[in-house]
Amino acid sequence: MLDPKLIRENPDSIRQMLENRRASWPVEEALALDSRRRELLAEAESLKAMRNEGSRKVAALKKDDPEKAGLMETLREAGARVKALDSEIAKVEERFEELLLQLPNMPHPSVPVGVDENDNPEIRRWGTPPSFPFPPRPHWEIGEALGIMDFDRGARLAQARFTVLRKAGALLERALINFMLDLHTREHGYEEVAPPFMVNSATMRGTGQLPKFAEELYRCEGDDLWMIPTAEVPLTNLRAGEILKEEELPLYLTAYTPCFRREAGSYGRDVRGMLRQHQFDKVEMVKIVHPDSSYNELEKLTNNAERVLQILGLPYRVICLCTGDMGFASSKTYDIEVWLPSQGKYREISSCSNCEDFQARRMNTRFRSKDTGKIRFVHTLNGSGIAIGRCLIAILENYQRQDGSVKVPEPLVPYMGGLEEIV
């Protein structure tokens, strides 16, 4: 969440942010609630001070002093008023907190102002899309022909947008998971974590999934548990409510998890294949860092995700999301898009974001300066390192052969038990 002082002291910046994000939020109601809260607190504090002073006077008066009964009645009235004020303050604060949880993050000044994905500037490209002497086939045709993807049985076991991977398909998925975890832990300095795949509501609120995205999440009925949409949620919340030592920063965390998303609002998009699934696998990267270094850390985080594609020889581009396309919790986001020959275009495979202190405020995660002792909020970053299913898709399509076989990228061969091609 944003600092309430920003709303109070510079509401125009909030209005401009909402306009740039193409979002709506009741600024005037929030300002009125904040003003009313401060009025109520001032009156309550004044009455409490008066009551304390009156109590001392009552204690000093003799039992039969005629002034005593009147003063005690005044104190009883003051106490009743304080009780009523505290109740109203609680209601005002609850509503204000509710609104704060729905307010998106402030974009960094470097983020381009735009309406949608068409306004996202390209930052760089890597690699050259392959040229085929035949019409490249989509991954679902390749996978079904090789017997490594089963969409019908996935739908039969669950519903549409679930896939069964078999034989070399399942092996390739496992190989990618292990390859990415090894890369991030051994070369990029991340600590591997195996977190729960279900978390409680407080954890979901901490990273901004609740309350805004409740309809896009899977909930366990009867329990305060939600299936995670990404490992970002448990990884970022690992230090929720804590005050870290400055010397502990930065923290680099990575994890493999399945991810669960209802994909509400996406029906009719990417229906074929496994580009958009309700359950998918991902290796996630999370950073908890000093505020002064977070944008340098964002560049390194993005490079870490890019390195996966570079080693695998998959062409990609990096774009910067504009204000109208960026995520709720993000201050700045780079998307990495991999080349898919069957579509003749780049598609998202990783999203790398700096959330600044937006999530830290929701989680109350802070650090103490070793020099001044001052307590500040940390900055949090997250990025896909990368989406396993989409990487598998990209390999099948970019490494396909005319005879229907698929070449296994050389770096994956050891993870595939020496298998060099899928036939």
- Report how far residue 246's alpha carbon sits from residue 241's, in angstroms, rounded to the nearest whole number: 15
Domain end call among 100, 126, 152: 100
Statement to judge: residues 122 and 46 lie in one domain: no
Inside any domain, residue 158:
yes
* DSSP code for 337: E
Residue 383 main-chain phi, psi, to 5 deg: -160, 145
- The alpha carbon of 48 is separated from its chain's Cα centroid by a whole number of angstroms, namely 42
Statement to judge: residues 238 and 373 lie in one domain: yes
Total number of residues shown for the chain: 423
Statement to judge: residues 154 and 266 lie in one domain: yes
- Report how far residue 419's alpha carbon sits from residue 423's, in angstroms, rounded to the nearest whole number: 10
Residue showing tokens 């949880």: 101
Residues 130-160 as b/e (b if ≥16 CB within 10 A, e otherwise) read eeeeeebbbbbbbbeebebbbbeebeeeeee
Task: Tell me the CATH number at 18.
Answer: 1.10.287.40
Inside any domain, residue 108:
no
Domain total of the chain: 2
Statement to judge: residues 84 and 135 lie in one domain: no
Which residues, other chains included, contact 285 with Cβ-Cβ below 8 Å and sequence gap of 6+?
184, 188, 190, 252, 253, 254, 301, 304, 305, 382, 383, 384, 385
Task: Tell me the CATH number at 411.
Answer: 3.30.930.10
Statement to judge: residues 131 and 218 lie in one domain: yes
Contact 240, 365 (CB under 8 A): yes
- Report how far residue 274's alpha carbon sits from residue 280's, in angstroms, rounded to the nearest whole number: 9
Inside any domain, residue 45:
yes
Statement to judge: residues 191 and 42 lie in one domain: no
Statement to judge: residues 308 and 337 lie in one domain: yes
Residue 9's domain comprises 4-100
Alpha carbon of 58 to those of 54, 66, 72, 295: distances in Å? 6, 11, 7, 60
Inside any domain, residue 140:
yes
Helix (H) or strand (E) holding 418: none
- The alpha carbon of 235 is separated from its chain's Cα centroid by a whole number of angstroms, namely 10
Inside any domain, residue 110:
no
Domain end call among 66, 100, 134: 100
Statement to judge: residues 153 and 11 lie in one domain: no
Question: Catalytic amino acids?
Answer: 261, 276, 348, 351, 390
* DSSP code for 400: B
Domain end call among 67, 100, 133: 100
In order along its 423 residues, the chain shows pLDDT tens digits of 999 999 999 999 999 999 999 999 999 999 999 999 999 999 999 998 988 888 888 777 766 777 777 788 888 888 899 999 999 999 999 999 999 999 999 999 999 999 999 999 999 999 999 999 999 999 999 999 999 999 999 999 999 999 999 999 999 999 999 999 999 999 999 999 999 999 999 999 999 999 999 999 999 988 999 999 999 999 999 999 999 999 999 999 999 999 999 975 556 667 789 999 999 999 999 999 999 999 999 999 999 999 999 999 999 999 999 999 999 999 999 999 999 999 999 999 999 999 999 999 999 999 999 999 999 999 999 999 999 999 999 999 999 999 999 999 999 999 999 999 999
Inside any domain, residue 112:
no
Statement to judge: residues 45 and 163 lie in one domain: no
Inside any domain, residue 342:
yes
- How many C-beta atoms lie closer than 10 Å to residue 176's C-beta? 26
Inside any domain, residue 109:
no
